[in-house]
Structure 1
Amino acid sequence: MQFPAVLRRSAAASAAAAALILSGASAPAFAAQVPVNYVNLGDSYSSGWGSLAPTATVNPAYGSPACLQGGPDDVALFDQLQSVALTGDYACAGATVGTTTSGIPTIAEQAAKASFDGALNSSTGLVTLTAGGNDVNFGQIIAACAADTSPDATGCQTAAAAGVALANSVDVAGTVGTIRGFAGNARIAWLGYPRLFATSGESTTVTAGGGVMSAAAAAVFDKGTDQLNAVLAGKARGAGAQFVDVAPKFTGHEIGSSASWFNLGPYAQFNFHPTADGYSQGYYPAMVSAIKPAQLVKS
């Protein structure tokens, strides 16, 4: 009888092992694989904000209502990989790179707390974060663009340009340096932001701008997101960190598309943030594809 190739290999391996045992020889030892120690920092897009809207919880790492998180997200999925061990999640909705706002820890303060707790140290192999959106007044730009009904969205263009100017002053290098000071052996992955609004050129578009803003303003806002991501990417790479572009994973799933992955409804505090699908089907696969966590595992 002809065995399939995989069974023939298994039978041959069993025979070889039996021969080793009978001869008294030692079988080769296989080193255990050690998962990469992982810490998550960042703003609302790193804290799962909106994944279980209207539910929000206090981040147990702080025990303070100044640091809130949403529900299960890409970070939780990443932690389920055998190659990853989450040692601390310090992300807070509303966090900035710069000055502390309403008591919400900045990214540097999150890193310092993670270090104090012993979660972020020389054994940390990976740190992920999203940051920068709050520093460029993300919410104010949306409001300005939503209010702009001019044919060329000139008011939206002005607001978006101001946001890009602020992006150029975001201290990405200093933040990466702070994290690296606590975790000198870690890969630092700075995650970008998705485009929020469907545009008229997409085949999946139901309403360009999703009814939030005009098609012209939506195009300007999405371009501004691309520019913010480009600035953050250049700064992150210049500081020796990795930048993870998530925007392509969300194409066809923006607000106004036929299958949106964003909150937009009665729970306004979660609007313009991903749903559970956005985190699991947008952010998570982008992280796995770019970071390749299995390659960080040590034997």
Structure 2
Amino acid sequence: MQFPVVWRRSAATFAAATALILSGASAPAFAAQQPVKYVNLGDSYSAGWGSLAPTAAVNPAFGSPACLHGGPDDVALFDQLQSVALTGDYACAGATIGTTTSGIPTIAQQAAKASRDGALNSTTGLVTLTAGGNDVNFGQIIGACAADPSPTAVGCREAVAYGVQLANGVDVVGTVAKIRGYAANAKIAWLGYPQLFATAGESTTVIAGGGVMSAAAAAVFDKGTDQLNAVLAGKARSAGAQFVDVTPKFNGHEIGSSDSWFNLGQYTQFNFHPTADGYTQGYYPAMVSAIKPAQLVKG
């Protein structure tokens, strides 16, 4: 009896597989997927500053009081994903893109240290960071807006405009290039900043400006945050990096809302930084949604 061609091939394949099993030889295995190697850099918003206020600690990556970070945050949650393996977290509160006189490592210095430690290299698949806020004197702008009682927030507008001017000079492109020089194959995700203050007319607003500044100044400041994000986004994309907008995730959770995700009050060093909820319910889902880490996994 002659088997059909298809059956003969199937029988031959089955016989070969049976022979392998009986002989103790193992069949070829599928290569296990390796999680994407991940490095975090950046300023206080990358460092989880305020996530466990009033607790803060020296970042062990530097072992110096010049580099402080907070508690568990979005980066820690990201590391718990099966598709991600954090090889180094070098973010420091107060970090800048440009030069610093406070001894806090700049973004470029963080990347260089990560490279020396072997955490940032050609096998790195993902780098995240927030940066730029300190370069435009974010804190000083908040102070100027808080001190402005004018009905149209004239002083706040001037401070914000100067901050946007400074943002245009921030070297995002050069920073991305330096990171890519250490990690040529990495996806670089530049995360933005959330709007800080609840404004008039929002359904969740309890007090516009959160009691920190007038309703008019709060609206101007939030618009300034949007402008800063827009500048950073444009520069990041032109450098081949991804920009991650986190503002939608924080809608309804600004300072002055009924469910704020920001520190404000007793522990002043953490003021205007996210709480644990801000990092885990704001930044983390924004990162997962935009970065899609499972798609970066290598077979």
Please say if 1:130 is aligned against 2:113. Answer: no
Residue 280 of structure 1 corresponds to 280
Q: Does 1:294 align with 2:290?
A: no
Amino acid at match of 2:50: G
Instruction: State the 1:201 CA deviation.
Output: 1.7
Distance 1:278 1:21, change over 3 A: farther
Query: In 2, distance between residues paired with 1:287 and 1:24?
Result: 49
AA partner of residue 69 (structure 1): H
- Report the counterpart of residue 60 of structure 1 in structure 2: 60
Structure 2 counterpart of 1:213, one-letter code? M
1:221 aligns with 2:218: no
Q: TM-score, normalised by structure 1?
A: 0.92
Question: 1:169 matched to which residue of 2?
Answer: 169
Secondary structure of 1:282's match?
helix
Instruction: Provide structure 2 residue ranges, at least 5 long, that are not aligned to the other structure.
Output: 1-13, 22-26
Q: Residue 105 of structure 1 aligns with which residue?
A: 105
User: How much does 1:23 deviate?
Assistant: 3.6
Q: 2:117 maps to which residue?
A: 117
Q: Secondary structure at the match of 2:285?
A: helix
* Overall identity of the aligned pairs, in %: 84
Cα distance, 1:31 vs structure 2: 1.7
Per-residue CA distance 1:148-194 (angstroms, 9 max, x = gap): 01000000000000000000000000000000000000000000000
Root mean square deviation, CA, Å: 1.3
Match of 2:3 in 1: none
**DSSP-derived class of the 2:283 partner:** helix
CA contact (8 A) 1:95 1:101 kept: no
Aligned to 2:154: 154
Larger Rg: 2
Matched residue count = 281
Q: Does 1:231 align with 2:231?
A: yes
Q: Write out the 4+ residue segments of structure 1 that deviate beyond 6 Å after TM superposition.
A: 19-22
Compute the displacement of 1:100 (Å): 1.7
Structure 1: runs of 5 or more not aligned: 1-18
**In structure 2, how many angstroms separate the alpha carbons of the residues matched to 1:261 and 1:24?**
63
* Structure 2: distance between partners of 1:22 and 1:222: 66
Letter of the aligned partner of 2:135 in structure 1? D
Residues in 2 aligned to 1:266 and 1:90: alpha-carbon distance in whole angstroms: 28
| Mapping 1:176-195, distance limit 5 Å | 176-195=176-195
Partners in 2 of 1:119 and 1:20 — Cα distance? Answer: 48
Q: 1:21 to 1:202 in 2, by over 3 A?
A: farther
Q: Which amino acid aligns with 1:291?
A: I
TM-score by length of structure 2 reads 0.92
Report the equivalent of 1:255.
Answer: 255
- Preserved CA contact (<8 Å) 1:148 1:154: yes
